């Protein structure tokens, strides 16, 4: 049959049963098109998901998410270890059973410096230590001030050593060399111009 006999001879308007060429299937008469509308047949196909085997968790069956999650945990662990143990601030330290903290801030043409010394554990020797601190700025290291005092006697006792250093009104740092019974500790605190 040719195409003209199918369409008919009605020229009064477009034929509604006629389909556009992109919608027609071109096949030979022997070929048979098989559509899988049977559910059991679809499920028996190898690409179909198995019935009842649906993953419930976010990480089940997704290895890239598991690897990404493990990488994030490792990064946070490394950062925690770095900031906790390696990157200690230069103005704090614990030596010979004492916690030391240096504080400094500018005021007019001077830098007000405070050194906090707190006993954190009992001393095994029960001897009295003399604490001496040498303060100076990085801008004028030749102008030094020395303060000396007895160490705090009991646990959780604190003393504060205070002094005033000359300031040249620029970004600078204050250094403190602290001697606690022969143990030397160097602390450093930066002072910024405001």
Is the pLDDT at 23 greater than 60? The verdict is no
| pLDDT value at 19 more than 70 | no
pLDDT given at position 29: 64
Q: Are 97 and 123 in contact (CB under 8 A)?
A: yes
In a domain, 7, yes or no: no
Domain that holds residue 118: 92-191
Whether residue 130 contacts residue 151, with contact meaning beta carbons closer than 8 Å, is answered with yes
Q: Is residue 1 part of a domain?
A: no
**pLDDT tens readout for residues 177-188:** 999 888 888 999
% pLDDT > 90, the chain: 17
For residues 164 and 111, the answer to whether their CB atoms sit within 8 Å is yes
Higher pLDDT, 180 or 58: 180
CATH number where 171 lies = 2.60.40.10
Does 177 map to a domain? yes
Model confidence band, residue 15 (pLDDT cutoffs 50, 70, 90): low
Whole-angstrom Cα distance, residue 162 to residue 174? Answer: 13
Q: Which residues does 188 contact at the CB level (< 8 Å), separation at least 6?
A: 90, 91, 102, 173, 174, 175, 176
Considering the domain boundaries, does residue 116 fall inside one? yes
The answer to whether residue 110 is domain-embedded is yes
Contact 152, 100 (CB under 8 A): no
Number of domains in the chain: 1
When pLDDT is cut at 50, 70 and 90, the band that residue 130 belongs to is confident
Assess if residue 120 is contained within a domain: yes
Q: Residue 135 falls within a domain, yes or no?
A: yes
Q: What is the mean pLDDT of residues 78-87?
A: 82
Residue 130 lies inside a defined structural domain of this protein: yes
Bridge partners, 46 (sequence order): none
């Amino acid at each position: 049959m040719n195409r003209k006999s199918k369409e008919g001879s009605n020229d009064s308007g477009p034929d509604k049963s006629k389909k556009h060429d992109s919608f027609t299937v071109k096949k030979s008469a022997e070929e048979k098109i098989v559509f899988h509308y049977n559910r059991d047949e679809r499920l028996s196909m190898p690409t179909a998901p198995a019935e009842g085997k649906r993953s419930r968790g976010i990480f089940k069956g997704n290895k890239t998410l598991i690897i990404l999650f493990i990488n994030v945990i490792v990064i946070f662990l490394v950062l925690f270890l770095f900031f906790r143990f390696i990157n200690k601030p230069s103005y704090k330290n614990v030596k010979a059973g004492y916690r030391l903290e240096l504080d400094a801030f500018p005021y007019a043409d001077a830098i007000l410096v405070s050194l906090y010394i707190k006993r954190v554990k009992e001393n095994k020797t029960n001897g009295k230590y003399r604490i001496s601190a040498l303060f100076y700025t990085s801008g004028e290291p030749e102008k030094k001030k020395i303060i000396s005092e007895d160490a705090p006697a009991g646990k959780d006792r604190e003393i504060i050593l205070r002094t005033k250093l000359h300031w040249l009104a620029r970004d600078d740092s204050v250094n403190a060399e602290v001697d606690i019974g022969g143990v030397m500790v160097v602390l450093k605190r930066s002072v910024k111009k405001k």
